[in-house]
Amino acid sequence: MTREEFDVYLKKFNGRDYDGFLEYFADDFEMIHVGGSFKTRESVKKFYAFLHNYIKESVIVDRFVSDEYNVVLEARVQIEGVKELTPEAVAASDWPKLTPLKVGQKALIPQFIHYHLEKGKFKKVVCAEL
């Protein structure tokens, strides 16, 4: 995957085009990050619909390396609270590892993101905080 192709995907993710960015995933995939492990498009959509109800999020790529089997990034995930994500809302959600966030609160989270490719599609995505 080229950087230009990845940037199209990233524009869809940053624009909250869930169906659009999920087109880049294989039929059988796994995405792992602080929210948990997701293996279906429906579970990804449910998570991001919940999360993006509370925060504005965008990924900023600092380093990009790719070949036919991998896309590897060092990135910063920029978040800002747009609705208070209370401890109670986190506890009542399916994602108890999320961190509460107040309206207007901002964070810049350095991440290492590894996309495993199979036939040009994302087969496994692992996001880890640096």
Q: What is the DSSP letter of 85?
A: B
Print burial letters for 56-66: b (CB count within 10 Å at least 16), e (below 16).
ebebeeeebeb
Could you tell me the residue range of the domain that residue 95 belongs to? 3-129
Residue 89 has pLDDT above 90, yes or no: yes
The domain total for the chain is: 1
How many angstroms separate the CA atoms of 85 and 78, rounded? 16
User: What's 23's domain CATH number?
Assistant: 3.10.450.50
Summarize pLDDT for 55-74 with one digit per residue, the tens: 999 999 999 999 999 999 99
**pTM for this prediction:** 0.92
Q: What is the mean pLDDT of the chain?
A: 96
